[in-house]
Amino acid sequence: MQIVMTGGNRGIGAEALRHLATLPDARILLGVRDAAPAGVTGLPLDLASLASVNGFADAVIAALGGAGIDALVLNAGGQRPTVAERSADGHELTFAANHLGHFLLLHRLWPHLSDGARVVITSSGTHDPAERTGVPPPRHANARWLADPASDPGLDRNAITAGMRAYSASKLCNLLTASVAADRPDAAARGISVVAYDPGLTPQTGLARDQMWVVRALVWPLLPLLVPFSRTMNSLAAAGRGLADLATAERPPAGQVYAALRKARLTWPAPSVLARDAGVAKALWQDSLALCGLPAAV
């Protein structure tokens, strides 16, 4: 089983990788910034650089040697405290790393998926205002505004609020990307399933490593105590197992693309109203192609 993965060195991805590595026939190609875990082939990847993403895709294709990818797990992600940071290509960093890098990687590796392959993109319940996660929900999925927040007429004046909303918007983009990919004619013809995965709020990950010290030192360490009492929080072990199951065993019900882990159990709720808007999804796809320097889809 050929597995290609991002975000496997820490947090939910590391837990998922622990399960995936036990599969007797698994060969795992992992995008890494530093060293790869034992038993895994690490290939250099910086999702905030389109050149690095293209280099990683080239390295994956070469390493496959003509074999197909059975599971493509696009899990890496992060939060920044504001929208001030820029990627190597000049795009807002949260949008670039969480969405645009994964979008390009999916585009590059799609032709190399095996028949019956599974694609899993880690999204978040923060994309949906109805979830009331405490994170400001996205107002839109306009890729050009997200890439250049200064051009967004509705940009939050509070820098921290803008940074948090950039995260939820990037997770909406992950979900919209999954929905467009799942609707591709060749996905159905080849039995390829595409799922956007919400692991719920999961303590003990590295997600808040770039947040303010008060979040890292005071809020985040207390969250594990709340897991048993929350509908949308999950332990790190449960969230990782959910990701591994979607990559290897679970298939979405017909017409579903969004999986949400609730009380350590995979459920298939309807995503937000904005996430179900086909026009928004198509516009995001086309604009993302342009931002990646790719021709428009026909």
Average pLDDT per block of 10 residues along the chain, 298 residues long: 95 94 93 89 97 98 97 94 96 98 98 98 96 93 98 97 97 98 96 96 60 46 50 81 96 96 94 97 98 87
CATH of region 2-291, choose from 1.25.60.10, 1.10.150.120, 3.40.50.261, 3.40.50.720: 3.40.50.720
Structural tokens at position 102 = 């994964």
- Tracing tokens 């017409």 back to the chain, one arrives at 255
- Tracing tokens 């190597």 back to the chain, one arrives at 88
258 carries an active-site annotation = no
CA 295 to mean position of chain CA atoms: 23
Q: Give the domain ranges of the chain.
A: 2-291
**The predicted structure's pLDDT at residue 232:** 66
Three-state secondary-structure class, residue 144: helix
Q: If we measure between CA atoms, which residue out of 181, 149, 147, 166 comes closest to residue 74?
A: 181
Q: Round to whole Å and give the CA distance between 79 and 211.
A: 7
**The predicted structure's pLDDT at residue 216:** 43
Residues 6+ apart with CB under 8 A from 125: 131, 133, 198, 200, 201, 232, 260
Got the DSSP string for 113-143? EEEEEEEEEE--GGG-GGG--SSPPPS---H
Under 8 Å between Cβ of 94 and 45: no
Q: Round to whole Å and give the CA distance between 99 and 292.
A: 11
**The predicted structure's pLDDT at residue 38:** 85
**The predicted structure's pLDDT at residue 155:** 98
**The predicted structure's pLDDT at residue 210:** 52
**Pick the catalytic residue: 167, 197, 220, 285?**
167
